[in-house]
Amino acid sequence: MAAKHLDFGREGEACAEALLVAKGCVVEARNFATRGGEVDLICRDGDTLVFVEVKARQAGSLARPDEAVTPAKRRKLVRAAAAYLSERNLWDRPCRFDVVAVVNAGGRLTATHLADAFSLEDADLGSGLYQPW
């Protein structure tokens, strides 16, 4: 049987996906993993590829879910996004990084979509990105 926090994480991702689909996004991939990181959802919003990090927290948590997307997490997301773009030869596509913050308040999940939540500069990659962005 899966741990409760894993079930909650899956519920949070499903809630985030439903919100993005309702906004017109098309899901291209779920839980895209590479050696250096993972992207929870990869969506298409028109011509733009959207790499989405989903953060879920229980009510009463001391920090907002989106505060957990630290510079280190951003670097991992960017590296995983670069791998996705390279594997599919999609470097010519416009891209952005979104965060969906999910909170469980009294058994009800509420999702907040933060479009264009961070830029490459915010990821503080230095010279670590091997492909042009």
Q: Flag whether 128 is in a domain.
A: no
When divided into structural domains, the chain yields a total of 1
What is the C-alpha to C-alpha distance for residues 105 and 60, in angstroms, rounded to an integer?
8
Q: Flag whether 17 is in a domain.
A: yes
Per-residue model confidence (pLDDT) at position 125: 56
Q: Flag whether 49 is in a domain.
A: yes
Q: Flag whether 130 is in a domain.
A: no
- Complete edge-to-edge strand list for the sheet that includes strand 108-118: 26-34, 37-45, 48-58, 95-105, 108-118
What CATH number has the domain bearing residue 99?
3.40.1350.10
Digit-coded pLDDT (tens) for 86-116: 999 999 999 999 999 999 888 889 899 999 9
| Segments forming the whole domain that contains residue 59 | 4-123
Phi then psi dihedrals of residue 124, to 5 deg:
50, 60
Confidence of residue 66 (pLDDT cuts 50, 70, 90): confident
Digit-coded pLDDT (tens) for 7-18: 777 888 999 999
